Amino acid sequence: MTTQLNEQAGKLLIAVIEKHKCDAAMTAARKAGAPGGTVLMGRGTAQSKWLRILGLDDVEKELLYTLLPASLVRPVMNAIRNAPALSRTRGILFTIDVLEAFRRHDSTPAAPSQTQEDTMSDNSPEQSGYELLSVIVNHGSADQVMDAARSAGATGGTVIHARGTARPDDASFFGITIVPEKELVMILAPKDKSARIMESVKAEFKDAEPGSGIAFRTAVESFDMLGSPRR
């Protein structure tokens, strides 16, 4: 089965919330028009090395991914934020334009009237002032990534456990050796700090073997928080 992406469904909404709360979030999202979603398991990162020593560092999280048209982004985010079942739940909501890479390479200029309409539309992207930093490293290195990120101003992150494909013909990806277990560290940071955080992470791994991980930044369009005063 294949799913065709188009301009009407190009916003990826990501909700990072407490464990066992994603079902309630998805129920609220569906009522607001979301077609469905995928839930991933992750963990919050330790605030200090001492918490890791005491075994109090891992805070289990769930991540809800749902693909939406631009017109549904704000209604769905508001529905999740105001859901009674999530009234005491803390978390974050943000969106990414998953088609931006295609737009940048589209050499077909838009008609002036269409450009003006897009600019004035209520569906125009909201500039959040944040970027999502994604760092993929070998299993066991996530805390090292977060220590480096915090030294440059990051306040926290979420770790998702993953694995390489383990296929012989997929032995490398952009020069990265595939190993069975990986960790994806997701850090939401203000734009004025994201470059510094990324450089700090790169410096932390300067002596690592070439191709031991990758890091990239993605613009975040909309940002909201659960557990904060209602708007």
What value does the mean pLDDT of the chain take? 77
CA-wise closest residue to 7 among 67, 59, 83, 87:
67
Note the pLDDT tens digit of each residue in 132-166: 999 988 888 998 999 999 999 998 899 998 766 55
Residue with tokens 């002032």: 129
Give the number of other Cβ atoms within 10 Å of residue 176's Cβ. 18
CA dist., res. 100 & res. 10, Å (int)? 9
Q: Name all domains of the chain by residue range, CATH numbers in brackets.
A: 7-127+222-226 (3.30.70.120), 130-219 (3.30.70.120)
Q: Lowest mean pLDDT of 108-112, 158-162, 179-183, 220-224, name the range.
A: 108-112
CA dist., res. 90 & res. 169, Å (int)? 42
Q: What is the dihedral of CA 21, 27, 33, 38, to 10 degrees?
A: 50
CA-wise closest residue to 150 among 44, 46, 223:
46
Confidence tier at 94 by pLDDT (50, 70, 90): very high
Note the pLDDT tens digit of each residue in 114-131: 333 333 234 444 667 899
pLDDT surpasses 80 at 216:
yes
* pLDDT on residue 186: 93
